[in-house]
Structure 1
Amino acid sequence: MHRLFWKIFLSFWLTLVVFAALLLFAVSTYLEHTRTQQDIGSMRARLAEYLDQAQTAAKQNGIDGLEAWLSRLDRREAIPIFLIDESGEDLLGREVPAYIVTRLDRRRQHAERMERKAPAHLRSIRLADGSSYRMVPDFQSITLLRVLQRPRVIALPVTIAALISALVCLLLSRYQTFPLERLRRAAQHIAAGDLTQRVSPSMGNRRDEIADLAGAFDKMAERLEKVFSSQRQLLSDASHELRSPLTRIQVALGLARQRSNGQAENELDRIEIEIERLNELIGQLLELSRLEAGVDAGRTDKVDIRELLEGLIEDGQFEAASRGCRVELRESFPAIVQSNARLLHSAIENVVRNAIRYTKPDTTVEISMLPDTDRQDRILVRIRDRGPGVPDEMLLHLFEPFVRVEEARDRTSGGYGLGLAIAERAVRLHGGEIMARNEPDEGLSVHIRLQLAGT
C-alpha cells in the first residue's frame, strides 16, 4: 500500500541526505586542507601578499586604514588573521588564542634575531607613530560556521553539492514522471480516436500505483475499443440489413400506385418521400461506418483542391438556387494534397451543403482557400454561411454523430446530424483538422486544414 508515497518520500529524503553529506564532506575536506597549509608555499605567498597590502594601507591611511583593510580581509578569508600589537591585543579587538600568545612570548625573547629571519606570517607592520603589529594566521580556529559565513569560500563546495543533488533529483524526477507522460500521450491518442493505445508494456518491472494505473488504463482502453468496435459493426450491419426491406417497400409502393388508380396519391407520395429520407440516412450511416473503420483511407491520389472546390460550387449552385442563395469561391490558388479524392470531396461537400441549408435567403455561402498562417505545409479551406450560427457551447460537439442544434437545425431542414460527423472523420483520416466558429457579424464558418502533397 502507498508504494508511490514511500518512493516519493524516500526520494526527497535521500536527496536531502546526499546534499547534506556532500556539503559536510566538502567543507570538512576544505577545513582539513586549510589547516595543513601552514608549511605550504602557496599559503606563505598569500600571507606575504597580505603583509604587503597591510603595510601599504598603514602607510597611506595610518591606523584607520589598516583597521579597515583587516576588516575587509576578515569578512572574506576563512582563516582568521590577527594583527597583534606589542601588548598582545588584536587590532579588531578579537580574542587572541592562547597558543598564539605563548608563541609570541617565546619569540619576543629573541626579537632582534626574529626581525631579521622571521617568516612572513610573523613579520611586523610598523606605523608612523612607532607602533607595530604582527600578522599571525590562526589555522586552528577555522570553524564550519566561519566557512559558511564567507560566500567566496563556501561557493565551490555548495555548487558541487548542488550539482550532484540536482543530478540525483533529475534522475528521480525522470523515473517518477516518465510513465505519467506516457499515460498523457496515450490518453491524447485515445481522445483523437486511436483506441489501440496501451501503456503497461512501457512500464517495465514497476510495481507501484503508477503501474496499477497503467493497467487500469489499458483495461479501460481495451473495453472502449471493444464497445466502439461493436457499435460500428452494429451500425454497419443494421444499415446493410435495412437496405433490403427498403428495396421491398419501394417495390410494394410501385405496386400500390398501380392498384390505387390515383385514389391515394398524396399518401403514397408521402410514403415515397419518407423512403427516400430513410435511404439517405442509411447511406450516410454506411459512409460513417466506412470512415470509422478506415476503409478506403489507404487509397490516395493527388487532388487539386482548387479544381475540387470549383466542381463543388458548380454542383452546389443548383441546391442554392432552390433556396434563394448563392455559392461563390472568393479566393483560390493552385494547391495539391495527397488524399482519397472521393472521401475528401464528400467531406467538403457535406460542409458546403450544410452551409447552404442554413444560410439566409439572398445571401452568399463563401468558400475561400487560404495559406495556413501557423504552418507553411498546410492550406486552409474556409466555408462561411450567413445563418444564425450556433451556441458557443455547441461548437465542440457539432462534428459528433446525430448532434443537432434545435434553434438552427429543426427537423424540417432534412438533416440527420451526420453530415458534419462524416466530414470530420474524412478530414481526420487524411491527417487534417476541422473546426467551426461563430463569426462576429453573423453566420458560422468551418475551417478545414489539409496537408499539402510532398511536404
Structure 2
Amino acid sequence: MNQSVTSDDSNPSQASASTNNSVSTAGAGKNTASKKRFRISLFWKILGWFWLSMVIIITINLFVGYINGGKIHYRPLPPPLENELRKITNKTQNLFDGFRRINRSPRKRQWEIYLLDEQGQEFSNKTYPELLADLHSRVRRHKQPLVAFQRKQAFFGGSLIQIKEKNYWLYSRQRAPLINRHLVESFFRDIAKSILFSIFILSFPVSFLLSWLITGPIRRLQQTTRKMRHDLSNREDLEKLMRRRDEFGELATDFDNLANHLSHTLDSQKQLLSDVSHELRSPLARLKIALGMAENQATSATQDNLSRIKLECDRMNDMLSNLLTLSKLEAQEMSSEKETFDLCQIFQTVIEDGRFEAEQSNTEIQVDIPALCQFHGVKDPLISGIENILRNAIRYAGDNGLIKCSLHQQNDSITLSISDNGPGVPQAQLDKIFDAFYRPDLDRARNSGGVGLGLSIAKRSFALNGGVISAENLEPSGLKVTVKFST
C-alpha cells in the first residue's frame, strides 16, 4: 500500500505497493539526467564543421588549379589498359604479318593507333601531339608501357612490334574525362604529402578561433544562468556580455531584463506572503480571545461547535507559522551564521519531543544514533526541518505504527533518515512531495488540515545547511525520507 503524503499533513490514500526507488529533491531533473544521451559539445561541432569546410574548399581550389595546370601525368598501365593494349598489339601485328597496310584498316576502326620508331617518326607520317612524343621518350627510358594524360587527352601504350624487321612502339589515343580516377590519385599523391597536410594543420587554429568566438559567449551565458539559479543578483558575467555590440550583447540584455522581471515578481510574491501572514495574525488573535470568552459562557449544546472552532483556529495558526517560516527561508532572512554543534544531540532532542505526540497513537520510535556527531551549520533551520519530517512520519504511521530514526557518519558525509510503516506515496508523485502546497491526494486531505508546507520547509531548511533531501517507498509499505550532508 502506498501512502499519499502531503508536505506536512494530509489524509493518506490507498495505492499499489511500489519498489524502492530513491527520488532526490531535484525531482524531474534527476529523471531527466538519468535519460541523458551521448552529448557532443557545440564547440567541437562548430570546430569540426569549420575545419572540414576550410579543408574541403582549399582542396577543391587546389584540385581545380591542378587539372588546369597543363602538367603531364604518367602512370603505369592498370590491368584493364594492359589487356586492351595487348589486344591492339596482337591485332596490329597480325595485320602487318598478313601484308595489310595499317592505313587501310576497317571502316569502323576500334582504336586510333600510332606507330613510332626509335627516332620518333610515325609509321604513316601522321602528325601527333607533343604529349605522345613525351610519352614515347619516357617509355624508351623506362622500357615499359605507360599511360600519359593531360587535361582532356590521354595516350597509353609502348608495346614493341616489328614491321619489315624494324622496331616500332605502338600507342593508342584515349579520350580522358576532365576528372578521372588517375587524375585524382595523382593529385593526392603529389599534393597531399606536402601542401594539403600543411593546410590541414594551419587551418586548425583559424577554425578553433572561430569556434571559440561563437561558443565563448554562449558558455559564459550558461555559467551565468547556473549562478543565477541560486542567486538572481549574481550577474557579473552577464553585465560583461551586455557590453558586446552584437547579437550576443542583445541576448544578454534581454536575459537581464527577464531576470529583473523574475526577481521583482518573486520578491513581490514573498513580500505578499509575508504581509498576508502577518496581517492574518491580528484577527486570528482577536478570534481566539473571543473564542475564550465564548467558552466561558457556552452551554453543553454549543461546546462541541466551539471546540471545532478552536481546532480550526489552531490549524490556521500553524499554517500561518509555516508560511512565515517558509517566507523567511526563501528570503534567507533566517539567521545564516553557522556554528559547530552536536547533531546527534539535536536529533535526539527532537525525537524525545516527538515521542509525546507518538504516544497518543501508540506509535513506537526506534533510534539508531551514535554518541557524537560534530556538525557545522545553522542550528534553528536544521531543527525545524527534522521536526517537520518526524511529525509527518508520526501522522502517517497511524495507530500502533513504527518509526525508525537513524544517523550515520561516514568519511566526509552524514546521512540522516526517518522512515515509517505507513501506506507510502504513489511512485509517480514522489518527486513532488517537497514542493510547497503540493497535495497528492484528490480530496486535499481536508480532514488533516495540512496545506503541504512541512516537507517544503524541511527541504529549504536542509538546503541552508548543504543538505539534499530525497524520499523512497519501502516494502511492503512505508516511506523513508533521507537527508545527506557533505561535511
TM-score bracket for this pair, using the shorter chain length: 0.5 to 0.7
| Partner residue in 1 for 2:269 | 231
CA distance in 2, matches of 1:208, 1:214: 10
CA distance in 1, matches of 2:139, 2:381: 103
**In structure 2, the residue corresponding to 1:233 is in which secondary structure?**
helix
Contact in 2 for aligned 1:148/1:154 (Cα 8 Å): yes
CA distance in 1, matches of 2:148, 2:437: 92
**In structure 1, the residue corresponding to 2:484 is in which secondary structure?**
strand
Contact in 2 for aligned 1:397/1:403 (Cα 8 Å): yes
Contact in 2 for aligned 1:331/1:369 (Cα 8 Å): yes
Q: Which deviations, in whole Å up to 9, do the C-alpha atoms of 1:3-50 show, x marking residues without a partner? A: xxxxx999967973477549988xx9xxxxxxxxxxxxxxxxxxxxxx
Q: 1:16 aligns with which of 45, 53, 56?
A: 53
CA distance in 1, matches of 2:365, 2:238: 52
Contact in 1 for aligned 2:274/2:324 (Cα 8 Å): yes
| Partner residue in 2 for 1:33 | none
- Distance change (3 Å), C-alpha of 1:297 and 1:92: farther
Contact in 1 for aligned 2:416/2:482 (Cα 8 Å): yes
CA distance in 2, matches of 1:189, 1:433: 18
Q: Structure 2 unaligned runs (5+)? A: 1-44, 66-135, 150-181
| Partner residue in 2 for 1:103 | none
CA distance in 1, matches of 2:481, 2:324: 24
| Partner residue in 2 for 1:196 | 233
Q: Structure 1 unaligned runs (5+)? A: 1-7, 29-83, 98-142
| Partner residue in 1 for 2:377 | 339
**In structure 2, the residue corresponding to 1:435 is in which secondary structure?**
strand
Q: 1:243 aligns with which of 273, 281, 305?
A: 281
Question: Within 5 Å, which residues of 2 pair with 1:305-454?
Answer: 305-330=343-368, 332=370, 334-371=372-409, 376-406=411-441, 410-452=445-487
Contact in 1 for aligned 2:281/2:320 (Cα 8 Å): yes
**In structure 2, the residue corresponding to 1:388 is in which secondary structure?**
coil
CA distance in 1, matches of 2:289, 2:314: 13
CA distance in 1, matches of 2:318, 2:289: 17
CA distance in 2, matches of 1:366, 1:159: 69
Stretch moving more, 393-402 or 416-425 = 393-402
Contact in 2 for aligned 1:297/1:429 (Cα 8 Å): no
| Partner residue in 1 for 2:255 | 217
| Partner residue in 2 for 1:280 | 318
Aligned-residue CA RMSD (Å): 3.8
Q: Which deviations, in whole Å up to 9, do the C-alpha atoms of 1:162-220 show, x marking residues without a partner? A: 33323222222222222323333344445x45332446413154344443333222222
Q: Which deviations, in whole Å up to 9, do the C-alpha atoms of 1:141-164 show, x marking residues without a partner? A: xx995664449x835644443333
- Distance change (3 Å), C-alpha of 1:387 and 1:171: farther
Q: Which deviations, in whole Å up to 9, do the C-alpha atoms of 1:311-334 show, x marking residues without a partner? A: 122122222222232222235464
Contact in 2 for aligned 1:302/1:337 (Cα 8 Å): yes
Q: Given residue 434 of structure 1, which amino acid in structure 2 is its aligned partner?
A: I
Q: Which deviations, in whole Å up to 9, do the C-alpha atoms of 1:102-160 show, x marking residues without a partner? A: xxxxxxxxxxxxxxxxxxxxxxxxxxxxxxxxxxxxxxxxx995664449x83564444
Contact in 1 for aligned 2:412/2:486 (Cα 8 Å): yes
- Distance change (3 Å), C-alpha of 1:415 and 1:171: same
Q: Which deviations, in whole Å up to 9, do the C-alpha atoms of 1:383-415 show, x marking residues without a partner? A: 222222222332222122111111697222242
TM-score by length of 2: 0.61
CA distance in 2, matches of 1:369, 1:408: 35
Contact in 2 for aligned 1:200/1:211 (Cα 8 Å): no
Contact in 2 for aligned 1:23/1:158 (Cα 8 Å): no
Residue 128 (structure 2) pairs with residue 93 (structure 1)? no
CA distance in 2, matches of 1:405, 1:12: 49
CA distance in 2, matches of 1:87, 1:162: 37
CA distance in 1, matches of 2:278, 2:232: 25
Residue 355 (structure 2) pairs with residue 303 (structure 1)? no
**In structure 2, the residue corresponding to 1:411 is in which secondary structure?**
coil
Structure showing greater relative contact order (alpha-carbon pairs closer than 8 Å, 6 or more residues apart):
2
Contact in 2 for aligned 1:147/1:154 (Cα 8 Å): no
**In structure 2, the residue corresponding to 1:399 is in which secondary structure?**
coil
**In structure 2, the residue corresponding to 1:354 is in which secondary structure?**
helix
Deviation of the 1:418 alpha carbon: 0.6
CA distance in 1, matches of 2:314, 2:332: 27
Contact in 1 for aligned 2:459/2:469 (Cα 8 Å): yes
CA distance in 1, matches of 2:253, 2:290: 55
Please identify which structure carries the higher strand content. Answer: 2
Q: Given residue 418 of structure 2, which amino acid in structure 1 is its aligned partner?
A: I
**In structure 2, the residue corresponding to 1:415 is in which secondary structure?**
coil
Q: Given residue 447 of structure 1, which amino acid in structure 2 is its aligned partner?
A: T
CA distance in 2, matches of 1:232, 1:206: 34
Contact in 2 for aligned 1:325/1:361 (Cα 8 Å): yes
**In structure 1, the residue corresponding to 2:142 is in which secondary structure?**
coil
Contact in 1 for aligned 2:47/2:210 (Cα 8 Å): no
TM-score by length of 1: 0.65
Q: 2:216 aligns with which of 162, 170, 178?
A: 178
Contact in 2 for aligned 1:357/1:413 (Cα 8 Å): no
Q: Which deviations, in whole Å up to 9, do the C-alpha atoms of 1:272-324 show, x marking residues without a partner? A: 11111111111111111111111234222112222222112212222222223
- Distance change (3 Å), C-alpha of 1:263 and 1:96: closer
**In structure 2, the residue corresponding to 1:413 is in which secondary structure?**
coil
What is the percent sequence identity of the aligned residues?
33
CA distance in 1, matches of 2:51, 2:194: 22
Contact in 1 for aligned 2:419/2:479 (Cα 8 Å): yes
Q: Given residue 327 of structure 1, which amino acid in structure 2 is its aligned partner?
A: I
CA distance in 2, matches of 1:448, 1:346: 14
Deviation of the 1:371 alpha carbon: 4.6
CA distance in 1, matches of 2:222, 2:382: 31
| Partner residue in 1 for 2:202 | 164
Contact in 1 for aligned 2:51/2:203 (Cα 8 Å): no
Contact in 2 for aligned 1:383/1:446 (Cα 8 Å): yes
